[in-house]
Amino acid sequence: MSLANFLRENRAQLSAGVLLTFSSSYGQTYFIALVAAQIMAAYNLTDGQWGGIYTLSTTASAIVMFWAGALTDNYRVRALAWGVVPGLALVCLAMAANSTVVGLVVIVFLLRLLGQGMMSQFASVSMARWFTGRRGLALSISAMGFAVGLAVRPVVVAALVTVLEWRWIWVIAAIAMLASFPIILRLLASERTPQSLAEQTSTTGMNNQHWTRPEVLKSPIFWLMLPLLLGPPSWGTALFFQQVHIADVKGWALLDYLALIPLLTAVAIAVTLTSGQLIDRVGSARIMRLYLFPWMIGFVLLSSADTLFAAAISFLFFGIGTGLQATVITTFWAEFFGTRHIGSIKAVSTSVMVFGSAIGPGITGALIDFGYSFPDQMLGIAGYFFVANVLVWLALARATKALGPA
């Protein structure tokens, strides 16, 4: 089937995936961090205290996500969306109205759970379940919502906060979320059947087996892959969470620094589309072996960057890593562990990644309070990615042998 025919025949499902990932933005770190300075000022918080709140709330959402994400094995996304989408809109309104630190902790928890967690889960599990032969391509197209949100929203919000009080940003977010709700429901009206309700269409993983979540958690392959799952969410999240701090330490205007994000996004889009089709041809394992190198190189370069041009070079590598992240991990779970229980398996992965996005801001914020700027921390982060990649190679050596010939 040609690409044009694939897009035409699956336009509703693919559009649903794009809109779901785009709508996840309100719970993503890069969006919340755009008003981090205003939040810290409003609640009289230091970098470490704000990072601690973010870590606590995100960790709690990761724990809940372990259970909530598995609901996609038993319920259609359309049914679950009735609770999640309006819920996310209400939480955005709560952020605008809240005045207490305790309330802030709860609101950030819900933003992370419903936005980054469930909206992303809906999109990735749906694509992995609905598509088999062109799963990588479907995931890459769905991930365009992440890329578009990352390209557009930081610039728009950075401009809006110069003319609006920061709480109005969240009112606008709530309105946008509610406006998208009927569109999401309409696109999901043609939703395909959950795998648990149509087991004859499920695909197997290693050892020709339908892996369950307990079996995955007992597998050494999962634990060897754990640093890979934690790394990009931890330190990639910190990269956006600390963007105001980075610009200040480097002596760059914030808007000039944020103007690099569309460059990262453009690269991410190109890599996402290319990697999705490449995965369909050669499998996820070969791409997974290269996945962490761009992150390692990007942090090495940004640590020593003294001009925006040098920072732009590092953002090219971050864009490559971001583009690969959008497709390779979900495809790996489906390819190596099967799709019958993909919702509960992906929920584990999502929980780990959400937890990673919790500890990154917390660790970096605490170190900043102790006098170590985020750029000073970046070489250590690069070292983390090197070690994690060694473990990935060990995991894939075992996994590809168990999967057998394609």
Which tens digits make up the pLDDT trace of 357-377? 778 888 888 898 888 999 999
Confidence of residue 200 (pLDDT cuts 50, 70, 90): very low
Confidence of residue 249 (pLDDT cuts 50, 70, 90): very high
Which tens digits make up the pLDDT trace of 174-199? 999 999 999 988 888 765 554 444 44
Which stretch of 113-117, 195-199, 273-277, 319-323 has the lowest confidence by average pLDDT?
195-199
Q: What is the pLDDT of residue 99?
A: 92
Mean pLDDT of 8-32: 85
Confidence of residue 310 (pLDDT cuts 50, 70, 90): very high
Which tens digits make up the pLDDT trace of 122-131? 887 777 777 7
**316 vs 272: CA distance, rounded Å:** 13
Going 296 to 297 to 298 to 301, the CA torsion angle's sign is positive
Mean pLDDT of 245-268: 88
Largest Cα span, the chain: 59
Mean model confidence pLDDT for the chain? 85
Task: Evaluate if residue 300 carries a pLDDT over 60.
Answer: yes
Which tens digits make up the pLDDT trace of 144-167? 888 788 878 887 888 888 899 999
Confidence of residue 331 (pLDDT cuts 50, 70, 90): confident
Confidence of residue 255 (pLDDT cuts 50, 70, 90): confident
pTM here is 0.75
Q: What is the pLDDT of residue 180?
A: 92
Domains and CATH numbers, the chain: 11-191+207-403 (1.20.1250.20)
Q: What is the pLDDT of residue 359?
A: 85
Confidence of residue 133 (pLDDT cuts 50, 70, 90): low
Which tens digits make up the pLDDT trace of 50-109? 888 988 998 899 888 878 877 777 778 888 889 999 999 999 999 999 999 999 999 999
